[in-house]
């Protein structure tokens, strides 16, 4: 008779593959069939719509009255200048959510994103082109930069704007792309479990891992309304997406210990599959493993110590709790 489940298997494995400074693959598994896409799709939507970024929301250019004007000695028209400015990605320093910054340039020069960095803002697109000035040109302008999410049209950035300013469409989203794919993964003898791999690429205002963390927080906040009306257990607060390194290490299969065949077979026949199970055992419990002799016991203790742990180790509560969940999932 097949074993009938009363609860779905909870995924325990989490991995981050850093492809570059602004791109990463985030993987989690194993999910029950259909669960991976059910979680990946809304997370992708939150990544693209709710990640916090920075953008120019208004500009005042000396000598220019509107976006179709021009500045003497500048190669670009104001409309081109504004388009170039929108391609420059800023990051506010400190706790400010909006700043107003004055800039002044004299030609001849080529102005790039790096020329706009100062104590208040950091430009993460240093090589982005802004404007070209000839030898007798001067360019003075002021930019308002704000923090926000998503896209905000120019007519919505300000209720009332001071004279001389041109309101700008603001594209705050720092996530340039968020995609996912679902793969099958083998759990014991069942190949129908799933792994989700999310590829996240940002513009440099935020790391892919921070963007993913933020999307989780937004998702939980949206779901909290149901928790307030229906008495259910709230999810644990996500303080870190990264798994505790001890948990990850102790979750390694006992193959990694390099045990002799006799020692390995004794553990395997007793359904001891991961190193954490040994670390959670007392020395007397390990000695009582069926058919485990003193020589095998000494070898296992030595190998576990070489791995950085001890039999009957005094582990942190979060490590013990996570390991017990992994063991329960394995036995389910």
pLDDT in tens, the chain (332 residues): 467 778 888 888 888 999 999 999 999 999 999 999 999 999 999 999 999 999 999 999 998 888 888 899 999 999 999 999 999 999 998 888 899 999 999 989 999 999 999 989 999 999 999 999 999 899 999 999 999 999 999 888 777 778 889 999 999 999 999 999 999 988 878 888 999 999 999 999 999 999 999 999 898 888 877 765 565 554 444 444 445 677 777 888 887 788 888 888 888 888 888 888 888 888 888 888 888 888 888 888 888 888 888 887 777 777 777 777 777 665 54
Distance CA 56, CA 91 (A): 11
Q: Which CATH topology does 54-170 take?
A: RNA Polymerase Alpha Subunit; Chain A, domain 2 (2.170.120)
pLDDT value at position 124? 93
Give the residue range(s) of CATH 3.30.1360.10 domains in the chain: 13-51+175-229
Give the residue range(s) of CATH 2.170.120.12 domains in the chain: 54-170
Supply the angle between the helices 294-306 and 261-269 in degrees, to the nearest 10: 90
Q: What is the pTM of this model?
A: 0.68
* Pair type for strands 151-152 and 170-171: antiparallel
* Secondary structure of residue 249 in the 3-state scheme: helix
Give the residue range(s) of CATH 1.10.150.20 domains in the chain: 245-331
pLDDT value at position 239? 46
pLDDT value at position 2? 61
The CATH code for residues 245-331 is: 1.10.150.20
Cβ atoms within 10 Å, residue 151: 13
- Residue range 13-51+175-229 in CATH 3.30.750.80: no
pLDDT value at position 230? 60
Strands (E), the chain: 13-20, 23-31, 52-61, 90-92, 98-106, 109-112, 121-123, 129-133, 138-149, 151-152, 166-167, 170-171, 175-187, 190-202
* Secondary structure of residue 141 in the 3-state scheme: strand
Distance CA 277, CA 289 (A): 12
Distance CA 60, CA 35 (A): 50
Q: Are 200 and 178 spatial neighbours (Cβ–Cβ below 8 Å)?
A: yes
């Amino acid at each position: 008779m097949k074993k009938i489940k009363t609860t779905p298997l909870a995924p325990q494995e989490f991995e981050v593959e850093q492809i570059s400074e602004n791109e990463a693959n985030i993987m989690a598994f194993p999910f029950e069939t259909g669960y991976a896409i059910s979680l990946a799709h809304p997370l992708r939507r939150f990544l693209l719509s709710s990640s916090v970024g920075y953008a120019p929301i208004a500009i005042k250019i000396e000598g220019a009255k509107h976006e179709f004007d021009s500045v003497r000695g500048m190669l670009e028209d104001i409309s081109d200048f504004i388009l170039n400015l929108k391609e420059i990605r800023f990051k506010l320093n400190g706790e400010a959510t909006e700043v107003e910054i004055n800039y002044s340039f004299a030609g001849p020069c080529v102005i790039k994103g790096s020329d706009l960095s100062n104590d208040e803002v950091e430009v993460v697109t240093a090589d982005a082109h802004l404007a070209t000035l000839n030898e007798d040109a001067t360019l003075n302008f002021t930019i308002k930069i704000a923090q926000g999410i998503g896209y905000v049209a120019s007519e919505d950035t300000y209720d009332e704007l001071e004279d001389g300013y041109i309101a700008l469409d603001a594209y705050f989203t720092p996530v340039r792309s968020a995609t996912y794919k679902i793969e099958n993964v083998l759990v014991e003898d069942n190949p129908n479990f799933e792994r989700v791999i999310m590829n996240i690429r940002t513009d440099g205002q935020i790391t892919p891992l921070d963007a993913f963390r933020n999307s989780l927080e937004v998702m939980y906040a949206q779901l909290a309304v149901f928790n307030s009306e229906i008495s259910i257990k709230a999810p644990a607060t996500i303080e870190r997406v990264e798994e505790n390194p001890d948990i990850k290490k102790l979750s390694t299969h006992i193959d990694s210990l390099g045990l002799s065949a006799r020692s390995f077979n004794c553990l395997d026949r007793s359904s001891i599959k991961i190193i954490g199970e040994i670390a959670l055992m007392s020395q007397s419990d390990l000695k009582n493993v069926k058919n485990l002799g003193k020589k095998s016991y000494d070898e296992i203790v030595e190998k576990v110590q070489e791995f950085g742990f001890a039999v009957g180790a005094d582990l942190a509560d979060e490590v013990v709790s996570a390991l017990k969940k992994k063991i329960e999932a394995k036995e389910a």
